Amino acid sequence: MTYICWRPIFGELKGSWRRARAALLVVLAWTLQPASAANVYIVDTAKREKSLALAEAVNRACSLCRPVKYMDMRGSFRIGREIAYELRDKEEEGALDLVITLGRPATRLVQPELGSTPLFHSLTSGRRETADDASVIGFETDPPIELQMAALKALSPAVSSVGFIATKITLDEVRADILTAASAQRLDIKLYYVENAYDVPEALRRAIQETSGLIFLRDKAVLNGDTARYILRMTLENQVPTISFSDALVRKGMLAALIHDTDKLGELIGQAAQYLLTNGRLPDTKPPARYYQLLINGASLEQIPGAQASAPEGVSMVLQ
């Protein structure tokens, strides 16, 4: 414990105002500093600009975490295992309070090595990837279905029916959410089940004929290197408003994507970490609308009749 001898410090206040102010600042800095910093580590599957921005946001939002320690797997499972073993050793030494993993490989390598240390991990689907462990806390980064529908309606108010093309496992996970959101948005829904990429062209042709807008979920059988170009060409040629989960697809020509705002997601994770470290329990971690942004391809927007640069209330809009 640090002790301050008050008399000598305040004895100096008889000198100049500059010296007095400096002494007062020393006292305030000591009294306001956190009792102790927590040992918080971020394990990144592969360092990217967005992951670094998220780590910086976590560091800003969680005063008890500072400084957050950043560990980069560099896309290597060997390095990832070394990091996992190092964190296990730190846990055994009592020098680990919280781990945040970015990307599925980092989560899969680190989580089995930890005991009771809380682990936060980013998700693309809260149902599919949440581990069977009370200490593993997922942060879902895909926006709620209702917000995706609201974004499609904001972009194209004339949309009355929405199509979803995906595998059964993907659609079954969100089917109830789709029906609830469709009722709230007063939209008709069509679900097109596919088993693999070969089924996508036929499903897409039917969806274009039978619906007035499409929402693409994260499903590798539907959107992958073999199908993406075909989907982009067909939806643009037929002037169908579309929303996906990928900023890369927007750059290639898809009308829009609803994605999380990296800085705000990092802020949310940092605030949750602060709350957990302070109170021993979690707050509600479901991101509100303001944690998402709607990316719009300006050139595609001009090709779709009735489409407009607009986003749901609370969602920021970025025109590219």
Q: For 145-260+292-319, which CATH class?
A: alpha beta
Superfamily name with CATH number, domain 40-140: Response regulator (3.40.50.2300)
Is there a common fold for 40-140 and 145-260+292-319?
yes
Q: Identify the pLDDT of residue 288.
A: 82
Q: What gap in Å lies between CA 149 and CA 139, rounded to an integer?
A: 21
Spatial CB neighbours of 46, under 8 Å, sequence gap ≥ 6: 72, 73, 74, 75, 103
Q: What gap in Å lies between CA 102 and CA 244, rounded to an integer?
A: 21
Residue 86 carries which side chain, given as an amino acid letter?
E
Q: Is the dihedral of CA 183, 185, 191, 196 positive or negative?
A: negative
Q: Where do the structural domains in the chain lie, given as residue ranges?
A: 1-33, 40-140, 145-260+292-319
Crossing angle of helices 49-61 and 262-279, rounded to 10°:
40
Distance of CA 254 to the CA centre of its chain: 21
| Residues lower than pLDDT 50 in the chain | 1-35, 126-131
> Which residues on neighbouring strands pair with residue 200, listed in sequence order?
none
Long-range contacts at 287-292 (CB < 8 A, ≥ 24 apart): 287/139, 287/140, 287/260, 288/314, 289/147, 289/313, 289/314, 289/315, 290/261, 290/264, 290/314, 290/315, 290/316, 291/260, 291/261, 291/264, 291/265, 292/143, 292/147, 292/258, 292/259, 292/260, 292/261, 292/316
Determine how many CB atoms are found less than 10 A away from the CB of residue 139: 18
Token duo for residue 272? 């949750």
What would the pLDDT profile of 97-136 be if each residue is shown by its tens digit? 999 999 889 999 999 999 989 999 877 654 444 445 667 8
Long-range contacts at 114-118 (CB < 8 A, ≥ 24 apart): 114/87, 114/88, 115/91, 117/87, 117/91, 118/276
Cβ density class 37-72: b for 16+ within 10 Å, e for less: ebbbbbbbbebeebbbebbbbbbebbebbeebebbb
Strand duo 242-244 + 188-193: pairing: unpaired
Closest residue by Cα to residue 71 from 92, 53, 87: 87
Token duo for residue 78? 């060997």
- CA Rg value for the chain: 25
